[in-house]
Structure 1
Amino acid sequence: MSHVRIEGLTKRFAGKPPAVAVDNLSLEIEPGEFIVLLGPSGCGKTTTLRCLAGLETPDEGGISLGDQTVLDVRGKVNLPPNKRRIGMVFQSYALWPHMTVRRNIGYPLRTRRVPREQARTRIEEAAELVDCAALLDRYPAQLSGGQQQRVALARGLAAQPDLVLFDEPLSNLDARLRDQVRAQLHELHARLGFTAVFVTHDQSEALALGDRLAIMKAGRIEQLDTPERVFEEPATEYVAGFIGMSNRLPLLRQGEGWALASASGADGQAGAESQTVVDELPVPRSHSEVSARLRPDDLQLCPAEEKPPAHSVGLPAEVVDAQFGGRHMDVVVTVGGSRLHAQAPLTGKPWARSLSRGQRVTAWFAKDVAIYYDADGVRTAGHTPTAAVGA
């Protein structure tokens, strides 16, 4: 285990203009902590990981692992990967096809010149940890995808590194295997307590594995907090959209109430086709324009003639598509100019089974389940997380 400190890390790639992949990023990781870098393609998460590994040379900044400085751009320190005491698990497994599982797991031990007998013990211990001890004499081509990924994990742990880096290691597995290996990885970290940085674009992986999540945008950390806080209190609209609050309703203040902004004019005022949707929302009066963010399972549907519950916002909607999802229907509706996703439970609601394209319904949500963001994408009401925003 090792404490990790990243200070002012910046990485640019040549071009006109140069592309800034990582932008003055600072982060501290406690010994034994599992940090997940989460974000879409191009946000800088993989480049950050590669800088930690020594596979990319940053333009500015510093990195220390424990009491060892592995990168100091000003001081012209940049240790190569084999000097950094790290383990790495790749998306593509990266196993040597001509080597047995035993030799693949032992490869980092050979590069560190670990004595043969000690290396043999470590290989067998690492293989036992990930349940692939019976595979040691096989070759990668004889293994399933899940088995290959477990071998890659064993290789990353065999040298007992100060830090283990994971570059989207589950993305090549099918859904069942992904869940299985994810659960094994979570259990393994709980048992061994290694320090880890895990890169993914999958929010379910991030929520399940991370002690803290760093949501990245344009090379910076948009929010850094526990999975629970990020999920329940996304600090910005960008984070809300990425963490599953995919439904967005743009609203403009209209007198004492609010109107859908889908038909707003060039001056930003609600157009003639806008409808007042609710008289009161938990938003400070200083805001004239907000966006409400909701998860699909927070958006409810009922027949058009049925009145939604009290303390809720009801909106006339039209069904675009409805798909059977087991215990619910996955439904796409349009509200004004907004396309929204809802999950209509089938238990006790037989009418939801017959939802069809073009059908008029009422979409509604409880006022307190939505999170509201101002024109700059920052939360407008309620408790603001203490996480780093824009750090």
Structure 2
Amino acid sequence: MSHVRIEGLTKRFAGKPPTVAVDDLSLEIEPGEFIVLLGPSGCGKTTTLRCLAGLETPDEGRISLGDQTVLDVRGKVNLPPNKRRIGMVFQSYALWPHMTVRRNIGYPLRTRRVAREQARERIEEAAGLVDCAALLDRYPAQLSGGQQQRVALARGLAARPDLVLFDEPLSNLDARLRDQVRAQLHELHARLGFTAVFVTHDQSEALALGDRLAIMRAGRIEQLDTPERVFEEPATEYVAGFIGMSNRLSLRRAGEGWTVVGEPGADGPAGVPGPAVAGELPVPRSHGEVSARLRPDDLLLCPVEEKPPGHGVGLAAEVVDAQFGGRHMDVVVTIAGGRLHARAPLTGTPWARGLSRGQRVTAWFPKDTAIYYDADGVRTAAHAPAAPVGA
């Protein structure tokens, strides 16, 4: 285990204009902590990981692992990857096809010139940790995708590195295997307590694995906090949208109430007031326009002749599509031209089975499930978190 400190990390790629992939990023990782870098393609998460590994040379910054400085641009220090005591698990598995599982796992031990008997013990120990001891004499072509990924994980742990880096290691697995390997990885970290940085664009992986999440945007950390805090209290609208609050309503104050503002693609021009909002919103009077973010699970439907509960906020909507989801219907509706996703439970509301395109319904949500953001994408004062959030 090792304490990791990143200070002022900046990486630019040449071009017209040049691209700033990582922008003055600073981050401290405690020994044994599992940090997840989460964000869309192009946000800088993989470049940050590659700078940690020594596979990219930053333009500015400093990185230390424990007491050792592995990168200091000003001090002209830049240790190569094989001297950083780092294990890495790649998206593509990157197993040598001509080597057995035993030799693949032992490869980093050979590069570190670990004695043969000690290397044999570590190989068997690492294979046992990921439940692939019975595969040691097979070749990668004889393994399933899940088995190959477990071998790659064993290889990353065999040399007992100070830091293990994961570059979207589960993205090539099918859904069932992804869940299985993710659970094994979570259990393995709990048992061994290694320090880890895990890159992904999948919010489910991030929430399940991370001790803390770093949501990245344009090479910077937009929010850094525990999975629970990021999920329940996204600090900005960008974070809310990426962590699963995909439904967005633009709202404008109209007297004592609110109306939905038309979105591009509506019947009228964008920005024209749409249907009135039935219900009060917990937004300060100082805000004339806000954006409300909701998860699909929190947007519910009822027939137009029914009123939402007293704690609900209702909106006139039209059904675009309805798909059977087992115990619920996954429904797409339009409100003032904007498309939103709702989930209509079938238990207790059998009418939802008959939803059809063009049908008028009322979409509603409990007012405390939405989070409201101002024009700058920052949470309104009424919903600001109790403590500062961010890097």
Q: TM-score, normalised by structure 2?
A: 0.97
- 2:97 counterpart SS class: coil
Within a 5 Å distance, the mapping from 1:128-167 to structure 2 comes to 128-167=128-167
**How far did residue 348 of structure 1 move?**
1.4
Q: Is the 8 A contact 1:237 1:379 kept in 2?
A: yes
Partner residue, 2:383: 382
Give per-residue Cα distances to partners, 1:238-264, cap 9 Å, x unaligned: 000000000000001111211111179
Q: Is the 8 A contact 2:276 2:315 kept in 1?
A: no
Partner residue, 1:227: 227
Partner Cα separation in structure 2 for residue 322 and residue 263 of structure 1: 22
Partner residue, 2:23: 23
Give per-residue Cα distances to partners, 1:37-87, cap 9 Å, x unaligned: 000000000000000000000000000000000000000000000000000
Within a 5 Å distance, the mapping from 1:305-344 to structure 2 comes to 305-344=305-344
Partner Cα separation in structure 2 for residue 188 and residue 325 of structure 1: 33
One-letter amino acid matched to 1:25: L
Partner Cα separation in structure 1 for residue 180 and residue 71 of structure 2: 36
One-letter amino acid matched to 2:253: R
**How far did residue 385 of structure 1 move?**
5.7
**How far did residue 137 of structure 1 move?**
0.3
One-letter amino acid matched to 1:327: R
CA distance 1:279–1:358, shift in 2 (3 Å): closer
**How far did residue 276 of structure 1 move?**
2.6
**How far did residue 337 of structure 1 move?**
1.7
Partner residue, 2:53: 53
Partner Cα separation in structure 2 for residue 323 and residue 300 of structure 1: 15
- 1:120 counterpart SS class: helix
- 2:362 counterpart SS class: strand
Partner Cα separation in structure 1 for residue 279 and residue 345 of structure 2: 28
One-letter amino acid matched to 2:314: G
Does structure 1 residue 372 correspond to structure 2 residue 365?
no
Partner residue, 1:304: 304
Partner Cα separation in structure 2 for residue 270 and residue 32 of structure 1: 50
Partner Cα separation in structure 2 for residue 25 and residue 386 of structure 1: 22
One-letter amino acid matched to 1:103: R
Q: Is the 8 A contact 1:229 1:385 kept in 2?
A: no
Partner Cα separation in structure 1 for residue 131 and residue 216 of structure 2: 33
Unmatched segments (≥5 aa) in structure 1 = none
**How far did residue 338 of structure 1 move?**
1.3
Partner residue, 1:103: 103
Partner residue, 1:6: 6
Q: Is the 8 A contact 1:263 1:274 kept in 2?
A: no
Q: TM-score, normalised by structure 1?
A: 0.97
Partner residue, 2:363: 363
Partner Cα separation in structure 2 for residue 161 and residue 269 of structure 1: 55
Within a 5 Å distance, the mapping from 1:195-234 to structure 2 comes to 195-234=195-234
CA distance 1:49–1:386, shift in 2 (3 Å): farther
Partner Cα separation in structure 2 for residue 152 and residue 100 of structure 1: 12
Partner Cα separation in structure 1 for residue 117 and residue 207 of structure 2: 40
**How far did residue 387 of structure 1 move?**
5.0
Give per-residue Cα distances to partners, 1:328-350, cap 9 Å, x unaligned: 11000001121100111011111
Give per-residue Cα distances to partners, 1:170-196, cap 9 Å, x unaligned: 000000000000000000000000000
CA distance 1:26–1:195, shift in 2 (3 Å): same
Partner Cα separation in structure 1 for residue 378 and residue 275 of structure 2: 25
**How far did residue 386 of structure 1 move?**
3.7
- 1:330 counterpart SS class: strand
- 1:275 counterpart SS class: strand
CA distance 1:93–1:269, shift in 2 (3 Å): closer
Q: Is the 8 A contact 2:346 2:352 kept in 1?
A: yes
Partner Cα separation in structure 2 for residue 102 and residue 290 of structure 1: 58
**How far did residue 324 of structure 1 move?**
0.7
Partner Cα separation in structure 1 for residue 284 and residue 160 of structure 2: 53
Instruction: State the identity as a percent.
Output: 87
One-letter amino acid matched to 1:155: R
Partner Cα separation in structure 2 for residue 321 and residue 385 of structure 1: 39
Q: Is the 8 A contact 2:327 2:346 kept in 1?
A: yes
Partner Cα separation in structure 2 for residue 141 and residue 274 of structure 1: 59
**How far did residue 306 of structure 1 move?**
1.0
CA distance 1:226–1:170, shift in 2 (3 Å): same
CA distance 1:167–1:269, shift in 2 (3 Å): closer
Give per-residue Cα distances to partners, 1:353-388, cap 9 Å, x unaligned: 111111111100011110000000000022426454
**How far did residue 274 of structure 1 move?**
2.6
One-letter amino acid matched to 1:46: T
Give per-residue Cα distances to partners, 1:10-49, cap 9 Å, x unaligned: 0000001110000000000000000000000000000000
Unmatched segments (≥5 aa) in structure 2 = none
Partner Cα separation in structure 2 for residue 386 and residue 118 of structure 1: 49
Q: Is the 8 A contact 1:344 1:352 kept in 2?
A: yes
Aligned structure 1 segments of 4 or more residues deviating by more than 3 angstroms: 268-271, 385-389
Give per-residue Cα distances to partners, 1:269-291, cap 9 Å, x unaligned: 963x5333145311111111100
Partner residue, 1:242: 242
Q: Is the 8 A contact 1:259 1:270 kept in 2?
A: no
CA distance 1:248–1:66, shift in 2 (3 Å): same
Partner Cα separation in structure 2 for residue 45 and residue 349 of structure 1: 43
Q: Is the 8 A contact 1:223 1:387 kept in 2?
A: no
Partner Cα separation in structure 1 for residue 44 and residue 99 of structure 2: 33
- 2:131 counterpart SS class: coil
CA distance 1:260–1:202, shift in 2 (3 Å): same
Partner Cα separation in structure 2 for residue 386 and residue 236 of structure 1: 14
Give per-residue Cα distances to partners, 1:112-155, cap 9 Å, x unaligned: 00011100000000000000000000000000000000000000
